[in-house]
Chains A and B, each alone.
Chain A
Amino acid sequence: MPEVTRFDEGGGFGLYLHWPFCQAKCPYCDFNSHVVSRIDQNRWADAYEAEIARAARETEGRVLRSMFFGGGTPSLMHPEVVDRAIAAARAAWPAANDIEITLEANPTSVEAERFRGYAAAGVNRVSVGLQSLRNDDLRRLGRLHSAEEARAAVAVARDVFPRVSFDLIYARQDQSVEDWREELAEALAMAADHLSLYQLTIEDGTAFGARAAAGGLRGLPDEDRAADLWEATQAACAAAGLPSYEVSNHAREGAESRHNLIYWRGGDWVGIGPGAHGRLTLDGRRIATETPLAPGEWLARVEEAGSGESLREEVSRENWLAELLMMGLRLREGIDLGRVEPLGAAALEGRIGGLEELGLLERVDGRLRTTVTGRPVLNAVLRELLT
């Protein structure tokens, strides 16, 4: 079974649905999320259904391997909406026997109450946004839940769903390697078989971005401490049997997120909802799609124009190659050289050779991958390869 996942090269086919609402905007977050007082959930269910039906017309017969409700905060969706979207997808495409249906959830008690409804609708995996197990840090991150609520939500999730993952943000303000080791040990003790561990990124256009630009937000790690934190994370997760299979994702063998693997392996996915991107390979051409970011604008487009797409363009071969490298080199398994050769990878031979000499890339059994030292400096590796 693990072998099948690992070397299923086409990347497969999946569906991403974006839910663009949150209860409050977190100061670090640059996802397409909005805070509104009222949501007409029924209207959203209609729009999802319509978009699924439209997307199915050009991808008829493809086997749906996964569905992903991302956000925003999809755990604010009425289970009924989730149910209707899943039913529509199942009606539109033949589903794989082991279809993975993930929903992103925030760990407040209110949301945990809806978990059973989601499971009944067909969700079989949740990804819970814990962010931290320390109340002080949760406050600094602007979260609405406590560490206790977070633990409880994970417990409910594990009870309700066959597969559970949770997210933590580390490399926070004033976080020492020691503090993080302890917190991570606690997290590993409560983890099921998947974990996402993100180093805090200061994004432009967020509250943290503005504070950092104004010279605030002290105590963020410098490069050396960020590297130490990274290494401590790799070691602790590997020792706990959840090695990293992607830059920020850790899983037991076979428990990798099938949906996200579609992105990293350069597969096809339909993107529905405000700000959702999609990629489809149609007649050997790579097509990128985008939708408007504003929820109202997206709804109106779907309802009035019959399609939520605001952009559809072909990805040039050069950019396709770039995307395959950018995404594929994030994976421990790397990329199949046979797959990138037709896109002109040969031109990179010299650069790849140079990076091999530096011990940052390696070629094994027809695959190109980052080494243990190459992965944490992937941006530099990509700059060397692609600029």
Chain B
Amino acid sequence: MTDLSRIRNFSIVAHIDHGKSTLADRLIQLTGTVAERDMKAQLLDAMDIERERGITIKANSVRIDYPAQDGQTYVLNLIDTPGHVDFAYEVSRSMRAVEGSLLVVDATQGVEAQTLANVYQAIDAGHEIVPVLNKIDLPAAEPARIREQIEDVIGIEAHDAIEISAKTGLGIPDVLEAIVQRLPAPKGDRDAPLKAMLVDSWYDSYLGVVVLIRVMDGVIRKGDTIRMMKTQATYKLDTLAVLKPAMTQIDELGPGEIGVFTASIKQVRDTRVGDTITHEKKQTATALPGFKPSVPVVFCGLFPVDANDFEDLRDAIEKLALNDASFTYEMETSAALGFGFRCGFLGLLHLEVVRDRLEREYDIDLITTAPSVVYRLHLKSGEVKELHNPADMPDLTLVSHIEEPRIKATIMVPDDYLGDVLKLCQDRRGIQADLTYAGTRPLVVYDLPLNEVVFDFYDRLKSVTKGYASFDYQLTGYREDNLVKMQILVNDEPVDALSMMVHRDRAEMRGRAMVEKLKDLIPRHMFKIPIQAAIGGKVIARETLSALRKDVTAKCYGGDATRKRKLLDKQKAGKKKMRQFGKVEIPQEAFISALKMDG
């Protein structure tokens, strides 16, 4: 156990790509926490999907021993956090487990949307903040200007911001000293009953459920029997360890310390992030306040391609949810797709990441239905209902009016692209709320319907600004608008999984785009197939897929009979991957591509 005065706990926060994970690498490396031969770039981004996309998705913690200039060795617990807005819940959770933050700002980019959002969260959490100017090695770095910008835009002291290059290692010793000198030590009472915060948990195929905790008061030891206060589950600890970042066994953890335990936990539902862990016998009187639950803003259905995989999908979703508290799910059935789950996400990237992880880590092929936001239906009866799934839209005659969620979108963009960004927001039914300058960079604030952002806003924004815009949003509330449910009919049969809610004024455009896309995606059949978008009974867009004209094997002689028969057998098996809509078969891939929000 470590003396409180020699512990420092902190998170590393920044806008996406400003270099948090690279800074974490340098801190791990300079302190010799990981052997040189085991080092690799963004060491903590261990998931395949993180490495492929080059972004952090999960917050990760590491314990570092640092012999400081004062001659004392300190225990540092750092938590590297994701920068993308869709994973903001990871950041806010992490901040609750530590006392300070390193605020990384890319000295070539300056303050961006998520820089602001993270600073405010850190201030809320009562953190001491150490600003760090990164990427000083780049010729485009302007530390003096950015320092000023931090003071102007964020309003925090920045004259002692540390100039570093996480890439070359420049300035890293100063960061380590600042952590020790400028961040506060944790507080806690080692004689009080155990009170620990359940910060995170995940499923490991060898160890089972692994729980990450921060001890507030008391001491937890290997072999202890503990109780999760919210779920009332009790378990006996099998192992207790700290992350360096590999699990390293330890006998006990005292106040201020961060570590993990395993306890043969079978029910993954028993571990809820934010829960308080105490001893089974000597319990703490007051539980921690818990985390604010995250509010999913985008929903979609996830269905197994192969109906037989439903139970595997359920199991996979439960395990994944353990590791991702911002993801919600409930069972759903669809006429077209069978049994699946209606899932809630913090944004589209989040949706994509969860789907990808389910497919890869649990090896399940999935169909994703069109993403949708949560609408508020005001029924004529006076009842107010939440609509998560357009397929559940009641008869229009019962509905008095519909409200949709709106967001406050903050976009920072170089002057050159300002016009394009304003046009994009305007096209998406946006209302301009503010246009100011952060230094020389325009900062645009728009009031936008979330529904319009969910569709393909990020992609459009990225493409019109060549990737130079930064974007952040917050939900602001609900507002009534002229919203309708658009159905897609293939050969006159409605395909429930493709229905969506749209603004009446945008329905034609969206309907047209969808039917055109489907026309390319559905293979020709032996008859022609009308593909329509309709509101109520009214068709607003229509395409016709012509009948198949040519598909015959040119040469078929004696030796080809066997081959051809085997091909038909294979096609028979392939048919299972088709979804039948009346007489029309839609291949899985077509379905997935139609629902892709981009392109």
Interface residues, chain A, with chain B CB atoms under 8 Å away: 16, 70, 198-201, 223-224, 226-227, 230, 247-248, 260, 262-263, 269, 271, 275-279, 288, 290, 319, 322-323, 326-327, 330, 355, 358, 360, 375-384, 386-387
Give every chain B residue within 8 A of A278 (Cβ-Cβ). Answer: 558
Secondary structure call for the A interface: helix
Can you give 13 A-B contacts (C-beta < 8 A)?
Answer: A200-B554, A201-B553, A201-B555, A223-B549, A247-B554, A248-B555, A263-B558, A263-B561, A269-B558, A319-B565, A326-B565, A376-B549, A387-B575
Which residues of chain B from 537 to 559 have any CB-CB distance to chain A below 8 Å in the complex?
A: 548-559
B353 interfacial by beta-carbon distance below 8 Å: no
Task: Report whether B554 and A377 are in contact in the complex, using a CB–CB cutoff of 8 Å.
Answer: no
Interface residues, chain B, with chain A CB atoms under 8 Å away: 524-527, 548-559, 561-562, 564-565, 568, 571-572, 575
Task: Report whether A377 and B568 are in contact in the complex, using a CB–CB cutoff of 8 Å.
Answer: no
CA distance A198 to B552 in the complex (A): 11
Q: A360-B526, A380-B526 are in contact. Are A271 and B550 (CB under 8 A)?
A: no
* Residue of B whose beta carbon sits closest to that of A230: B550
* Residue of A whose beta carbon sits closest to that of B571: A387
CA distance A205 to B81 in the complex (A): 49
Q: Which of A248, A290, A358 contacts B526 (CB 8 A)?
A: A358
Q: Which of A226, A263, A327, A383 has the most CB of B within 10 A?
A: A383
Q: A260-B557, A386-B572 are in contact. List 19 more A-B contacts (CB 8 A).
A: A223-B524, A223-B550, A224-B549, A262-B558, A271-B559, A277-B561, A278-B558, A279-B558, A322-B568, A323-B565, A326-B561, A326-B568, A327-B561, A375-B552, A376-B550, A376-B551, A378-B553, A380-B525, A387-B571
The 8 closest A-B pairs by CB, nearest first: A227-B549, A227-B550, A387-B572, A277-B559, A198-B554, A378-B552, A379-B551, A226-B550
Chain B nearest Cβ from A256, distance in angstroms = 14
CA distance A198 to B565 in the complex (A): 20
Chain B nearest Cβ from A177, distance in angstroms = 13
Chain A nearest Cβ from B491, distance in angstroms = 13
Give every chain A residue within 8 A of B549 (Cβ-Cβ). Answer: 223-224, 226-227, 376-377
Chain A nearest Cβ from B529, distance in angstroms = 12
CA distance A293 to B314 in the complex (A): 49
CA distance A319 to B575 in the complex (A): 19
CA distance A230 to B549 in the complex (A): 10
CA distance A330 to B556 in the complex (A): 9
Task: Report whether B568 and A386 are in contact in the complex, using a CB–CB cutoff of 8 Å.
Answer: yes
Chain A nearest Cβ from B435, distance in angstroms = 46
Chain B nearest Cβ from A378, distance in angstroms = 4
Task: Report whether A322 and B558 are in contact in the complex, using a CB–CB cutoff of 8 Å.
Answer: no
Task: Report whether B557 and A263 are in contact in the complex, using a CB–CB cutoff of 8 Å.
Answer: yes
Chain B nearest Cβ from A68, distance in angstroms = 9
Q: Which of A198, A276, A323, A380 contacts B548 (CB 8 A)?
A: A380
Give every chain B residue within 8 A of A382 (Cβ-Cβ). Answer: 568
CA distance A383 to B551 in the complex (A): 11
Give every chain A residue within 8 A of B548 (Cβ-Cβ). Answer: 223, 377, 380
Chain B nearest Cβ from A264, distance in angstroms = 8
Q: A322-B565, A326-B564, A382-B568 are in contact. Are A247 and B558 (CB under 8 A)?
A: no
CA distance A262 to B561 in the complex (A): 12
Task: Report whether B562 and A277 are in contact in the complex, using a CB–CB cutoff of 8 Å.
Answer: yes
Chain B nearest Cβ from A86, distance in angstroms = 19
Q: Which of A200, A247, A279, A384 contacts B552 (CB 8 A)?
A: A247
Chain B nearest Cβ from A144, distance in angstroms = 21
* Residue of A whose beta carbon sits closest to that of B585: A383
Chain A nearest Cβ from B227, distance in angstroms = 58
Q: A377-B551, A381-B526 are in contact. Are A247 and B572 (CB under 8 A)?
A: no
CA distance A277 to B558 in the complex (A): 7
Give every chain B residue within 8 A of A276 (Cβ-Cβ). Answer: 558-559
Chain B nearest Cβ from A292, distance in angstroms = 13
CA distance A198 to B556 in the complex (A): 11
CA distance A323 to B558 in the complex (A): 10
* Residue of A whose beta carbon sits closest to that of B569: A387
CA distance A375 to B558 in the complex (A): 19
* Residue of B whose beta carbon sits closest to that of A169: B554
* Residue of B whose beta carbon sits closest to that of A277: B559
CA distance A326 to B557 in the complex (A): 11
CA distance A16 to B560 in the complex (A): 13
Give every chain A residue within 8 A of B557 (Cβ-Cβ). Answer: 70, 260, 263
Chain B nearest Cβ from A386, distance in angstroms = 5
Give every chain A residue within 8 A of B565 (Cβ-Cβ). Answer: 319, 322-323, 326
Q: Which of B525, B553, B555 contacts A379 (CB 8 A)?
A: B553
Give every chain B residue within 8 A of A379 (Cβ-Cβ). Answer: 551-553
Q: A376-B552, A377-B548, A387-B572 are in contact. Are A16 and B558 (CB under 8 A)?
A: yes
Task: Report whether B526 and A247 are in contact in the complex, using a CB–CB cutoff of 8 Å.
Answer: no
Task: Report whether A247 and B568 are in contact in the complex, using a CB–CB cutoff of 8 Å.
Answer: no
Q: Which of B524, B550, B562, B575 contacts A288 (CB 8 A)?
A: B562
Chain A nearest Cβ from B567, distance in angstroms = 9
CA distance A224 to B556 in the complex (A): 22
